[in-house]
Amino acid sequence: MSAILVTGADLAPQALALLQGHEMVYAGKTPGPDDLLALCRRHDPVAIIVRYGKVTAEMMDAAPSLRVISKHGSGTDTIDKTAAAARGIEVVAAAGANAAAVAEQALALMLACAKSVVPLNARVHAGQWDKATHKGVELGSRTVGLLGLGAIGRRFAASVQVLGMRVLAYDPYAQEAPEGVTLVPLATLWRESDVLSLHCPLTDENRELIDAEVLAQCKRGVILVNTARGGLIDEAALLQAVRSGQVMAAGLDSFAVEPIAPDHPFLGEPGFVLSPHIGGVTGDAYVNMGVAAARNLLDVLARQPSPQSA
| Confidence (pLDDT) at 190 | 99
Instruction: For CA atoms 244, 250, 253, 254, give the dihedral sign.
Output: negative
| Confidence (pLDDT) at 27 | 97
- On whether residue 151 sits in a domain, the answer given is yes
Q: What percent of the chain has pLDDT over 70?
A: 98
Query: Residue 75: which pLDDT band, with cuts at 50, 70 and 90?
Result: confident
| Confidence (pLDDT) at 305 | 63
| 52 and 169 both lie in a single domain | no
- On whether residue 45 sits in a domain, the answer given is yes
- On whether residue 308 sits in a domain, the answer given is no
| 258 and 118 both lie in a single domain | yes
Convert the pLDDT of each residue in 125-169 to its tens digit. Answer: 999 999 999 999 999 999 999 999 999 999 999 999 999 999 999
| 148 and 257 both lie in a single domain | yes
| 86 and 136 both lie in a single domain | no
| 69 and 182 both lie in a single domain | no
Convert the pLDDT of each residue in 208-234 to its tens digit. Answer: 999 999 999 999 999 999 999 999 999
DSSP assigned state of 79: B
Tally the domains of the chain.
2
> What mean pLDDT do residues 273-277 have?
98
Convert the pLDDT of each residue in 20-39 to its tens digit. Answer: 999 999 999 989 999 999 99
Q: Which of 10, 8, 2 is nearest to 30 (CA)?
A: 8
| 21 and 113 both lie in a single domain | no
Residue 250 burial class via C-beta count within 10 angstroms: exposed 0-12, middle 13-18, buried 19 and up: buried
The Cα–Cα gap between 310 and 301 comes to 13
- On whether residue 309 sits in a domain, the answer given is no
Confidence check: pLDDT of 15 > 70: yes
- On whether residue 125 sits in a domain, the answer given is yes
- Compute CA distances 245 → 180, 223, 248, 309, whole Å: 30, 10, 5, 63
| 132 and 208 both lie in a single domain | yes
| 34 and 170 both lie in a single domain | no
Confidence check: pLDDT of 66 > 60: yes
| 43 and 161 both lie in a single domain | no
| 41 and 128 both lie in a single domain | no
Confidence check: pLDDT of 309 > 70: no
| 51 and 26 both lie in a single domain | yes
Q: Which residues are catalytic?
A: 229, 258, 277
CATH number, domain of 213, equals: 3.40.50.720
Owning domain of residue 133: 99-274
Task: Answer whether 53's CB lies under 8 Å from 69's CB.
Answer: no
Confidence check: pLDDT of 310 > 60: no
Contacts of residue 288, defined as CB under 8 A and 6 or more positions apart, other chains included, come to: 94, 97, 98
- On whether residue 310 sits in a domain, the answer given is no
| 130 and 269 both lie in a single domain | yes
Query: Residue 307: which pLDDT band, with cuts at 50, 70 and 90?
Result: low
The Cα–Cα gap between 119 and 223 comes to 16
Q: State the chain's mean pLDDT as an integer.
A: 96
52-55: long-range contacts, CB 8 A cutoff, minimum separation 24: 52/7, 52/8, 52/27, 53/7, 53/27, 53/78, 54/78, 54/79, 54/80, 55/7, 55/79, 55/80, 55/84
Give the angle 99-194-275 at the CA atoms, nearest 5°.
45
Convert the pLDDT of each residue in 238-260 to its tens digit. Answer: 999 999 999 999 999 999 999 99
